[in-house]
Structure 1
């Protein structure tokens, strides 16, 4: 059996002052995954600072009312940007790809420009932008999109349109299966029941392996709340294909924005 934990050893840290770079992330209220994955991958001398915001989804439903506008005008995000902008960060990333998928054409550019102003000039990127840039860097043209189980069908469709508009031919989509007990729930119920805490990287590994077709030339895990980084290296090794995940790409793009290069083993071709 493949050992998913073996390659990931604790890295040495001399301190946690952020003497090389400091990054901020904007994270939706109930999502613990982006912070934990950023910290797991971050090189020594890099720190991660989070601000949280309320979901633009209407409580107890799957309805989003103008999600792009809701994110752009969120008082939580405005407060977070103001506070993060005062602590000397090198970049801030919106770790909420749903906002980009549902925000319409040009959302990422508009949000980044206005958010940077609210953050007192700190550069702002989005995780969806980072995914696009990372896939281009790795010359992926026909990705398999791995979709979280809390994405309703309309969000998955918008994700396909988003990447198609960016020049990719989506070779297929894989809705991640949390298993028995979860399949009967609506996507929004999975999120509200904290389904993201029950994602196992070994399940993602096996589901991806079973879903690869001959025309796929890369894997893109879309969704900052879908735990996945532990599976990257072994999927790349066993499939011979590049793997890009939302948080891995977001950290990589943040490092680039800060003018840093770092060779980080265990987290795939993108960071090595």
Structure 2
């Protein structure tokens, strides 16, 4: 007499597959995206050589120079990385790199997405800044605060302010977080404490913890419960947006521990 048994998942039964382009030495986007994603979603990465980080995931300097940031989105590297990802049976693509959008500005970022369109096979593409804009609008937030990684300098942070102001938001706070400029030195606890003591008094309706390489998704639920405003982080926002672009709104709704954003629907797909 035989009895039916249930086999453990081998990952092939995923209903939504998200591709992400990341800097060569950065594991942050993949770690956070897979942590937040429901079981039906898998994450698949492609890497680009990035001169702002050393092998092993260390920063080349306390503040990232702008030249490597610009080089990250110049052809042919990012075009090739996106094409290779788009060759796979994916449902959405993500550029896991916030700072390039700041440097490019809104018009430059739009031009980048237009340039990539021919190699995506029609797969929708998003990135941190684009996803954050969609998230703020879906949540009805107009007064926002931008918390940048400690490896962003003041110029780059100001470029971020200009990006979001050009999208119609009022930026009530922006700046690099006052923590050590090293990925492993940042924890949800010390990042949350810095936001409580430095940003809360600006009374934003929502904040964005920018930078896909900063350890941030663990701050979301506690800060929203304690401080009341909406909390977006780079990897949370791109996953939420990518799922909706992929037509996987039901998967997005199953995310319950990473912020109110997952209960919101983009105003435009």
Q: By the TM > 0.5 criterion, same fold?
A: yes
- Match runs of 1:64-213 below 5 Å: 64-65=66-67, 67-68=69-70, 70-178=71-179, 182=180, 190=181, 195-211=182-198, 212-213=200-201
Over 3 Å counting, the alpha-carbon distance change for 1:170 and 1:51 in structure 2 is same
Does structure 1 retain, via aligned residues, the 8 Å contact 2:151–2:176?
A: no
Does structure 2 retain, via aligned residues, the 8 Å contact 1:92–1:124?
A: yes
Rounded to whole Å, the distance in 2 between the matches of 1:52 and 1:200 is 24
The equivalent residue for 1:6 is none
Relative to the length of structure 2, the TM-score reads 0.84
For the residue of structure 1 that corresponds to 2:145, the secondary structure is strand
The Cα of 1:245 is off from its aligned counterpart by 0.7
CA RMSD of aligned residues (A): 2.1
The Cα of 1:97 is off from its aligned counterpart by 1.0
Q: Does 1:31 align with 2:26?
A: yes
Over 3 Å counting, the alpha-carbon distance change for 1:210 and 1:141 in structure 2 is same
The Cα of 1:52 is off from its aligned counterpart by 0.9
The Cα of 1:71 is off from its aligned counterpart by 3.5
Q: Does 1:266 align with 2:267?
A: no
The Cα of 1:161 is off from its aligned counterpart by 0.5
The equivalent residue for 1:187 is none
User: What is the aligned length?
Assistant: 245
The Cα of 1:67 is off from its aligned counterpart by 4.8
The equivalent residue for 2:227 is 239
Over residues 127-170 of structure 1, what are the superposed CA-to-partner deviations in whole Å (9 max), with x where a residue is unaligned? Answer: 11001110111111111211110001110010111111111111
Higher helix share: 2
The Cα of 1:81 is off from its aligned counterpart by 1.5
Structure 2, unpaired ranges of 5+: 1-7, 55-59, 264-269
- Match among 6, 11, 15 for residue 16 of structure 1: 11
Does structure 2 retain, via aligned residues, the 8 Å contact 1:242–1:269?
A: yes
The equivalent residue for 2:212 is 224
The equivalent residue for 1:51 is 46
- Match among 191, 197, 203 for residue 215 of structure 1: 203
The Cα of 1:109 is off from its aligned counterpart by 1.9
For the residue of structure 2 that corresponds to 1:227, the secondary structure is coil
The Cα of 1:197 is off from its aligned counterpart by 2.1
Rounded to whole Å, the distance in 1 between the matches of 2:184 and 2:121 is 34
Over residues 227-250 of structure 1, what are the superposed CA-to-partner deviations in whole Å (9 max), with x where a residue is unaligned? Answer: 111110010001111101111000
The Cα of 1:18 is off from its aligned counterpart by 5.3
Over residues 206-247 of structure 1, what are the superposed CA-to-partner deviations in whole Å (9 max), with x where a residue is unaligned? Answer: 111112125321111111111111110010001111101111
Does structure 2 retain, via aligned residues, the 8 Å contact 1:143–1:216?
A: yes
The Cα of 1:79 is off from its aligned counterpart by 2.4
